[in-house]
Amino acid sequence: MLFELRTYTVKPNSVPEVEKRFAEAIETRVKYSPLVGFWHTEIGPLNQVVHLWRYENLQERADVRAAAIADPSGNWPPKITDMLETMSSDILIPGETNDPLDGPREWGNLYELRMYTYPSGTARNVLKHFSASVERRAAIYPHGGFFMSDLGELNRFYQLWPYKDWAHREEIRKQYVGTDIWPPHTEERPVHQLVRHMVPAAFSPLH
């Protein structure tokens, strides 16, 4: 099992139109493989749409993408080229204790994606340690998942956290900040940290 995280930076003020065009085309695409989540950034790098896809392996990814593009409807990919600035794709390996993300989850209207880059060879240890330690944190509210990059931006560890809204995020954080509930202690230290706060699109299965 693997996941693909696709991040598109679009022209300022074009996010609503980009989401609209994805919404019009998504029915064609999900005939071939499931969409896990679709968001736009609210805090962090702005003017981005972020989508997460689930595959069994890279060959399924290649086959599915070819089939969707060849769909007789001609609806995929969505017609957004005129609004695109940059595109990136990262292949992620999930943690062992992750939710399988195999269908809709009604977790909330705010998602926090933490991306920490570690020295070469250490991100896998961080993934294992966080996955083994998450039970007490998940007892407060579900975690969206932990992932490690396998292709694309390497040596990255990803944390996906859902919240109902901003107030709920503050409420949850008050329950563990300054305690030993979370985060777990690890010897590894990140060399770079990036956080995106994201709002799910209306058609996102994670919402």
Q: Residue 129, CB half-sphere, CA atoms under 13 Å: how many?
A: 13
82 domain residue, yes or no: yes
Does any domain span residue 206? no
DSSP 67-118: HHHT-TT---S-S-GGGEEEEEEEEEEEPTTS----S-B---SEEEEEEEE-
Work out the number of other CB atoms within 10 angstroms of the CB of residue 168. 15
Residue 128 lies in a domain: yes
Nearest to 65 by CA among 28, 102, 116, 120: 28
> Domain residues for 109?
2-200
What pTM does this model have? Answer: 0.96
Q: What is the domain count for the chain? A: 1
Low-confidence ranges of the chain (pLDDT < 50): none
8 inside domain: yes
Contact criterion met (CB below 8 Å) for 198 and 41: yes
Residue 136: Cβ within 10 Å count: 13
Neighbours of 39 (CB within 10 A): 23
Residue 119 CB neighbours (<10 A)? 11
* Separation of CA 118 from chain center: 19
CATH number of the CATH domain containing 103:
3.30.70.100
Distance (Å, rounded) from C-alpha 50 to C-alpha 172? Answer: 24
Phi then psi for 127, rounded to 5 degrees? -55, -45
**SS3 call for 173:** helix
Q: How high is the pLDDT of residue 10?
A: 98
The SS3 call for residue 62 is helix
Q: How many CA atoms lie within 13 A of 90 on its CB side?
A: 20
Peptide bond into 12 cis (omega under 30): no
The pLDDT assigned to 183 comes to 93
- Identify the CA nearest to 165 among candidates 107, 84, 108: 108
